[in-house]
């Protein structure tokens, strides 16, 4: 299964990049996770937030691989346990779908873009910095894979 993560953020801190890379290298070749980092729009221009989000949405749409099942990561999304995430991944893997997850900028994602997504997931009720969200989602995906593979990483 191919999983793409598109994130609007400035370069993340080395500790977060190291954490992300640690989980990415643990995936087997048939479960490949790639990250595409997009630069957020300049917030000092005085443009209204809705215009900024619309411009970011244009760039995100261009970066989404064709035919992807798109899921927005958003604070208003659905909570998932590790097991329910694993079951969703299994369903999509068996259907031959590739997954594309979206992490918005400091102001989130454009409402129209979110409406176009197949689903919205919430990582946490806490406000998370982008770097930590990236580590968290990467670990959650790896944990879901470990559940599906009966790998000892996930314990109950």
Question: For residue 114, what are the domain limits?
Answer: 2-148
- The reply to whether 128 sits in an annotated binding site is yes
Pairing outcome for strands 2-8 and 119-121: unpaired
Specify the pLDDT at position 10.
Answer: 86
Mode of pairing for the β-strands spanning 2-8 and 32-38: parallel
Residue 140's pLDDT is 96
| Residue 106 resides in a domain | yes
Domain annotation covers residue 89: yes
Say if 156 falls within a structural domain: no
Q: Is 124 marked within a binding site? A: yes
Q: Does 94 fall in a domain?
A: yes
pLDDT at position 153 is: 75
Has 126 been labeled as part of a binding site?
yes
For residues 1-11, one letter each, b for 16 or more C-beta atoms within 10 angstroms of the residue's C-beta and e for the rest, the string is bebbbbbbbee
9 is in an annotated binding site: no
Within a domain: 37: yes
Question: Is residue 154, in this structure, part of any structural domain at all?
Answer: no
pTM of the predicted model over 0.85: yes
3-state secondary structure of 6: strand
- Is 104 labeled as ligand-binding? yes
pLDDT at 45 over 90: no
Answer whether residue 155 is part of any domain: no
pLDDT band at residue 18, thresholds of 50, 70 and 90? very high
CA distance 98 to 109: 21
Residue 156: predicted pLDDT: 67
Tens digits of residue pLDDT in 97-146 = 999 999 999 899 999 999 999 999 999 988 888 899 999 999 999 999 99
Q: What is the rounded distance in angstroms from the CA atom of residue 130 to the CA atom of residue 62?
A: 21
Average pLDDT score over residue span 71-88 = 94
CATH number for 14: 3.40.1280.10
Contacts of 155 (CB under 8 A, 6+ apart): none
127 annotated as ligand-binding: yes
Mean pLDDT across the stretch 56-72? 97
Domain count, the chain: 1
């Amino acid at each position: 299964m191919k999983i793409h993560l598109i994130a609007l953020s400035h370069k993340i801190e080395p500790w977060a990049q190291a954490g992300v890379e640690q989980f990415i290298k643990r995936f087997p070749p048939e479960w490949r996770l790639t990250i595409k980092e997009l630069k957020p729009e300049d917030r000092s221009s005085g443009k209204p937030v809705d215009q900024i989000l619309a411009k970011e949405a244009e760039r995100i749409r261009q970066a989404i691989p064709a035919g992807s099942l798109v899921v927005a990561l958003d604070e208003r999304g659905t909570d998932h346990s590790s097991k329910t995430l694993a079951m969703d991944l299994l369903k999509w893997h068996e259907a031959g779908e590739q997954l594309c997850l979206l992490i918005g900028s400091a102001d989130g994602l454009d409402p129209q873009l979110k409406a176009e997504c197949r689903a919205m997931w919430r990582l946490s009720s806490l406000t998370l910095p982008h770097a930590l969200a990236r580590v968290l989602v990467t670990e959650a995906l790896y944990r879901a894979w470990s559940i599906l593979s009966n790998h000892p990483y996930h314990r109950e």
